[in-house]
Every structure is written in C-alpha cells, then in structure tokens.
Amino acid sequence: MSFDRSIKIAPSILSADFANFGAEIRAIEDQGCDWVHVDVMDGHFVPNLTFGPPAVKAFRPHVKTVMDVHLMIAPVDPYIDAYAEAGADILTAHVEAGPHIHRTLQAIRGAGMKAGVALNPGTPAESVAHVLDLTDLICVMTVNPGFGGQKFIDMTGKVSQLRQMVGDRPIHIEIDGGVTTQTAPLVAAAGADVLVAGSAVFKGGSVSAPEVYGSNIAAIRNAARASATAA
Ligand code: DX5
Ligand code: ZN
C-alpha cells in the first residue's frame, strides 16, 4: 500500500446485503471504490454485533483493493493475530477500547498490518498525540459507533486539528459515519482523505443494479474533491 492524500472512497459493507457479501464486494470494486471498509462489532464495546475473523477471512478473496478493518471491540489485543491471519490490510482499534493503545498499535504493525486508531465523537484529538509515529490511519467517528444510517455529527474542528498534528507524516485521516455528498466537502476541506460511506453508497442499488453504486461513489468523490485541501 503506497501512501497518498488523494480522496479515497471506502464503502462500509455494513450497509450491504449480508446474504451476498462476496458479490457485493466485487460490485463496489468494479464500480470504482478505493478501499472496502469492514465494521467488526462485538455487542460489548458497541450495542451491535456483526462479524469476526472467520467472516473477514471469507471476505478476503473478494477484496482486490484494500481491506480496511474497523474494530469496535474491547479488548483488542487477543484478536490481532486472528485478523492478520484473516488478511486485514489495515486494522483500526478504538483509543477508548483499553488503556494500552501504544502497545496495541505496536502489536498491529508487528503482525504485518497497517495500524489505525479511531476516536469516538467525545474523544479529543490530543488522545493520539503520543502515538502518531505508530499510526498509519486516524479514524474520526462522525457518529456514535454501532449502526449505519445515522446523522452526521460535525467533527470538522477535530479533523483540522489532527491534520495539523499529523503534518507531513504518511497518516491517512479517515471519516466514518453519515458521509454523503452534503457532508463529504466539509470533511475534505478540513483535511480528511479517506471517506467511509455505507448507506450513501448502497442506497438504491444492488448486485443486479451495481451502476447505482458507481454513481453514488462518484458523486461522493466529486463532492469531496471539489473542496479537498492540497496536502
Ligand atoms: C458505524 C460504522 C460505520 C457505518 C457507516 O459504527 O463504523 O462504518 O457503517 O455507515 P453510514 O455511512 O451509513 O453512516
Ligand atoms: Zn466503520
């Protein structure tokens, strides 16, 4: 995975047809997505339950781009090797998931993956100030995690702060939750480069009408690009 700050669209398969993940993943990739966002929820850290390492392993052969695995679980450390074995390219842990984010990020990189750290809406940017050199991606939650289709919570101030803190480091700033053609320009202007979108990509489409996915992805990308700040 080479690093650049161009706008990237990462559809969240939480909004896909759960009975047809392989075809859904191939459809969004054929329709131009950049990454595939996989939401892992444990029914403990967040009030919802999705899938674990066996399912992620089953998704892997269908992902030709980048498998971006977002862990909404606590604890994280006991599962890091299982997600490496499942084929995650990026593994993101929440800073709120436990007291040892420094150790967790080291372990994720040690297992051969890119390391991401996620911040809930209530968590300040400063919480990652001392782990930037262990981080390849910062995920700014713009919803309280656990469900797709929620209303966007404006975190553009935090995004700008993080963009300053990151400086020239090769760290992606990812936005997750409520991304649409309306909200994408706001976060892109603040310095984000990876936009996760679930309901806004999958709405109105299906594996038999994938071109709808394509026009949704293109619309979000074009809206973001129009206001993206130069790196
Ligand atoms: C929420 C997840 C998000 C969610 C985004 O906890 O982390 O990735 O699927 O879905 P939308 O884009 O519909 O808000
Ligand atoms: Zn997510």
pLDDT in tens, 191-221: 999 999 999 999 999 999 999 999 999 999 9
DSSP the chain: -----S-EEEEBGGGS-TT-HHHHHHHHHHTT-S-EEEEEEBSSSSS-B---HHHHHHHGGG-SS-EEEEEE-SS-GGGHHHHHHHT-SEEEEEGGG-S-HHHHHHHHHHTTSEEEEEE-TTS-GGGGTTSGGG-SEEEEESS-SS-SSPPP---HHHHHHHHHHHTTS--EEEEESS--TTTHHHHHHHT--EEEESHHHHTT-BTTBTHHHHHHHHHHHHHHHTTPPP-
Instruction: Spell out which residues line ligand 1, taking CB within 6 angstroms.
Output: 12, 14-15, 37, 39, 70, 143, 145-146, 148-150, 176-179, 196-200
* Cβ-contact 26, 38 below 8 angstroms: no
Q: Which residue has the tokens 């939650």?
A: 141
* Probe target for ligand 1 pocket from 117, 150, 216, with the most ligand atoms within 8 Å of CB: 150
- Residue scoring higher pLDDT (192 or 230): 192
Query: Given this model, what pLDDT does residue 228 score?
Result: 79
Q: Which two tokens stand for residue 162?
A: 């993080």
Question: How many angstroms separate the CA atoms of 188 and 95, rounded?
Answer: 23
Mean per-residue pLDDT of the chain:
97
Question: How many angstroms separate the CA atoms of 159 and 165, rounded?
Answer: 10
- Is residue 39 among the annotated active site residues? yes
Is the pLDDT at 2 greater than 90, yes or no?
A: no
CA of 56 to the centre of ligand 2 (A): 14
pLDDT in tens, 124-179: 999 999 999 999 999 999 999 999 999 999 999 999 999 999 999 999 999 999 99
Is the pLDDT at 229 greater than 80, yes or no?
A: no
Q: Which domains does the chain have, with CATH numbers?
A: 8-230 (3.20.20.70)
Question: How many angstroms separate the CA atoms of 138 and 165, rounded?
Answer: 11
* Cβ-contact 45, 74 below 8 angstroms: yes
pLDDT in tens, 6-28: 999 999 999 999 999 999 999 99
Query: Given this model, what pLDDT does residue 230 score?
Result: 55
CA of 197 to the centre of ligand 1 (A): 7
The pTM assigned to this predicted structure is 0.98
Whether residue 149 is annotated as binding a ligand: the answer is yes
Dmax of the chain from CA atoms? Answer: 47
Whether residue 112 is annotated as binding a ligand: the answer is no
Whether residue 176 is annotated as binding a ligand: the answer is yes
CA of 160 to the centre of ligand 2 (A): 20
Query: Given this model, what pLDDT does residue 1 score?
Result: 78
pLDDT in tens, 49-88: 999 999 999 999 999 999 999 999 999 999 999 999 999 9
pLDDT-derived band at 231 (thresholds 50, 70, 90) equals low
pLDDT-derived band at 100 (thresholds 50, 70, 90) equals very high
In the predicted model, what is the mean pLDDT of residues 94-121?
Answer: 98
